Chains A and B, each alone.
Chain A
Amino acid sequence: MEPLRLTGAKRAGPSRRALLLGAASMALLAGAPALALSDTRSTEVLGTWYKLLLELIRHTATYSPPVASRAFAYLGVAVFEAVASGDPALRSLAGQVNGLTAGPVRENAAYDEACVLHGALVHALNAHFGNTGPTGQRAMAAMTERLGAVAGAGVAPDVMARSLGFGTAISEHILKWSATDGGAVIENMGFPYEYTLGAQPSSWAPTSTVAVQQRPLLPNWGNNRAFTLPADDPCGLPLPTAYSEEPTSAFYAEAMEVYEVSKTLTDEQKSIARFWSDDPMLSPTPPGHWISIALQIFERDAVPLALRAETMALLGMAIADGFIACWRSKFEVDLLRPITYIRRLIDKKWEPLLNTPPFPEFPSGHSTQSGAAAGVLAALYGTNFAFTDATHEDDGIAPRDFASFQAAAEEAAISRLFGGIHFRPGIEMGLVQGACVAGHVLKVNTRA
């Protein structure tokens, strides 16, 4: 991937969150130059492992978007805890997020921070992607060796061994915590062996000829333990527009909007739909798209290690909680997709631009998680933080420029209308839900 092209102003003033984060991130936001030398090995370790992580997400069959979001969250927390364990300015997430207890404690001895981080990531990636194919296994083995050399350059053997072991212990602690959240075991690529479809005209119905997709993806995902959502505010949504097949009804009008937009799509609208399509197995998924945005910003702005760790933890949890909240709503509402309604009542041969995902419509998952991601990133980097997103450049999809994270989230959301896979209320309410999720995530205090 080529270096990012800078576009416009990087920022327009610090955010409230940046003020809260303190001097380190403020230095970044003021345009502080270089990383501390001691951080350079760590940032290379972090960035390269995450580059591989995006590939593993794309190429591991169980990693549908909800499952991907979970991995990003736990890996982000593991990264943060590893970095925080050696940085007195950071505060552990133990006791702040649901179910996480205090982790291992360092001995009174020397540690190398890059090796701690490498140890944590080696363990975490192998734990989460033990099921990936032979190519992914080969890549992880190569990366373990390659980045081990980077992390351990100039480090005394005993310090390296102690540090790798401590990083591993942190990841083991996180992994043990993750095992009880309800999302650890994925069978049949997430499609239940048994499921009774809803019997209402409004109920979701299968939309593809793929056999496993005759049942919806991960119908119980909304029951998973969230990272930050409290039991009394799981970011639920009001019901969408009442289902009706009457041509004069509001619901019919919403379907007609999807249909008519599909008939008049501009090249720009097609580009937007495809840019945010983020299909599993063919991209790093919608969660990975936002992780990729963060990684690009890290490189462009030489973001300090502590803020990188905070970003991966908070962004990961925001996306994961977004999917949990969204999936709960999806299966409570159980609404059919536009393709089902339009072919039933408007045009039997209608084809949307994008493939329709195999689960209920309301709300839009990409909208929810993009709203959550944008909320967290805006708090960390600024509300008018401009960036260029080249996530899909390797796939031949041109980069796009955004004036803010919120602008990107709104484009991701409306892309689902252009793609013909969501009604407008699912898009708009998804963004609302995402903002709610971000609010909970941002209550976590990452600074000591």
Chain B
Amino acid sequence: MRKFLAALLALAPMVAAAQDPAVPIFTEQSAASGLTTAYLGDWQYMVGGGAAVFDCDADGRLDVFLAGGEGPAGLYRNRSEAGGDLRFEPVAGMNLTAVAGGYPLDVDSDGVTDLMVLRVGENHLMRGLGDCQFENANSQWGFDGGDAWSTAFSATWEPGATWPTLAVGNYVNRFEEAFPWGSCTDNWLHRPNAEGTGFAAPLPLTPSFCALSILFSDWNGSGIRDLRVSNDREYYKGGTEQMWHVAPGAEPRLYIEKEGWKRLRIWGMGIASRDLDADGFTELYLTAMADNKLQVLNKPAEGAPLLPQYSDQAFKRGATAHRPYTGGDLRPSTAWHAQFEDVNNDGLADLFVVKGNVAKMPDFAADDPNNLMLQRPDGSFFEAGALAGVASMKVGRGGALADFNNDGWLDMLVTNRWEAPQVWRNDGTGVDARWIAVDLQQAGSNRNAIGAVVELRTDPPQRREVTVGGGHAGGQLGPLHFGIDAAEAADVRVIWPDGTVGVWAEVRAGETAVLAN
């Protein structure tokens, strides 16, 4: 029976029904891409392995920083021609090892993107100097990089602040050999210093429960970005998923049961976020082992307060991604990086999940293909990884969907444990589905408008919150991509981080609009 089931599974994804979304065809270009940084190392590098995607040389193309674990991290300049093959070339000079991940952001608001580097050891805030050159700015900015097994990151600009507030998620005490369980080390909150020149000493976010992904998000539309923390239950004792109140001028404080917070204990590994139904509240996809959660905020009865309570709709909407969908390995999956993006430009956010065994755990799939779940109009998801040509069986960790060759179709990057990364060019669906991109810019601090919300008057409407964080050990900074299906243009407006509501502006299909505040 098991063999029969495996055979059925192997065949099932090869057929798409008429009502299913148009499937983009991806062409793997890993070998010739120039990307070679494998995520190396043993126990201390079983998690991490993230990718940071941003334009470090201001040429309008998205460059790539790759964690290397025990090997050197890699920084690559994007040399892809518009609509052409995906090509990258290494940039010398970073010389970083023990790197688990990276997130781009403009820390000092000088218009040049900086890079937060998560490490097993001291974290580095790398100040961007332009032309993909960086310098360690820990000392210059008063940033205490600590000494931990850092695995997660998020950033926000608290109201009125000119410097960001940075949150770092940390994992197990790596020096514990025989009894590491229960030894989760504190996460840190790095707030700006009073002088406005950098950072104050970090605050420990106690208790901490081995975070593998964290995200500042305005979950309730209050204008305050609280910190959602997804924790790995493998190592905590007495732990749960967490959310911290991070109110300006106040000590961070956990959401508790009396406020409606409900205990959820999963092997939390990654967070993807998107307001899938444009109702004003961001949905979350939480990756784990053998099960993944699609969390939708419960709407209160009329007159009742909005509580931080979510229902899990992954099963109902076909997004559990709990075991391989092709290849015949029926064992449960292990999921890491996750990201919502519209890969077929039909105006509906799709879901990308990177998969890979922790190491060689025999109870979990060894051949565990990455997922590309296309969203249907009814909100359910259709697994298209095999049809799209991205069902890699390598041991994945980090990843990114990004338009590396500026053709309006989001390409795919996956980092792998022990092997070189993979990259696929999105060759489109063959359908005339269109796109726009939006590049947010602010004067003064928070140049990239982290915390803003972008709304589109499309059918159906679209809405997304601009964040730095989540995923698995890696993030992106660049123009925001939206599919608009067959429309020739879309009306766009921005609700800026300070609450200012912008005017609706028409953006023509195929254009990247710079929207400034």
Contacts and interface: CB of A to CB of B under 8 A. Distances in A.
Interface of A: 51-52, 55, 58-62, 130-135, 138-139, 142-143, 146, 186-189, 193-194, 209-212, 279, 281-282, 394-397
A134 B179 contact: no
Contact of B315 (A186, A210, A394, A395): A210
Nearest to A282: B265
Interface in B290-314: 290-291, 312-314
Nearest to A140: B178
Contacts of B42: 134
B493 to A, nearest CB: 35
A134 B361 CA distance: 8
B291 A138 contact: no
A133 B2 contact: no
B46 interface: yes
B238 A133 contact: no
B335 interface: no
A189 B363 contact: yes
Contacts of A193: 1-2, 5, 330
B177 A395 contact: no
A209 B1 contact: no
Contacts of B237: 394-396
Contact of B179 (A52, A211, A396): A52
Contacts of B322: 210-212
Given A61-B364, A189-B290, A209-B316, A282 B178 contact: no
Given A279-B265, A282-B265, 18 more contacts: A61-B289, A61-B332, A61-B361, A133-B361, A135-B181, A135-B235, A139-B180, A146-B178, A187-B331, A188-B331, A189-B363, A193-B330, A194-B1, A209-B313, A210-B291, A211-B314, A211-B315, A394-B182
B93 to A, nearest CB: 33
A60 to B, nearest CB: 8
Nearest to A48: B178
B377 to A, nearest CB: 22
Interface in B1-21: 1-2, 5
B459 interface: no
B363 A131 contact: yes
Contacts of A188: 330-332
Contact residues of B: prevailing secondary structure: loop
B125 interface: no
Interface in B316-342: 316, 320, 322-323, 330-332
Contacts of B238: 394-397
B359 interface: yes
A186 B291 CA distance: 18
A157 B114 CA distance: 59
A133 B179 contact: no
A267 to B, nearest CB: 12
Contact of B181 (A58, A131, A189, A212): A58
10 contacts: A62-B363, A134-B359, A139-B178, A139-B179, A146-B178, A187-B331, A188-B331, A211-B314, A211-B320, A394-B237
B10 to A, nearest CB: 14
Given A133-B234, A134-B43, A138-B43, A143 B359 contact: no
Contacts of B315: 209-211
B222 to A, nearest CB: 26
Nearest to B362: A131
The list of the 9 closest CB pairs from A to B, nearest first, reads: A396-B238, A395-B238, A142-B177, A209-B315, A211-B320, A211-B322, A142-B178, A134-B359, A394-B237
Contacts of B312: 209
B233 interface: yes
Contacts of A186: 363
Contacts of B1: 193-194
B67 interface: no
A401 to B, nearest CB: 21
Contacts of A397: 238
Contact of B233 (A139, A210, A212, A281): A281
Contacts of A211: 291, 314-315, 320, 322-323
B177 A189 contact: no
A395 B233 CA distance: 12
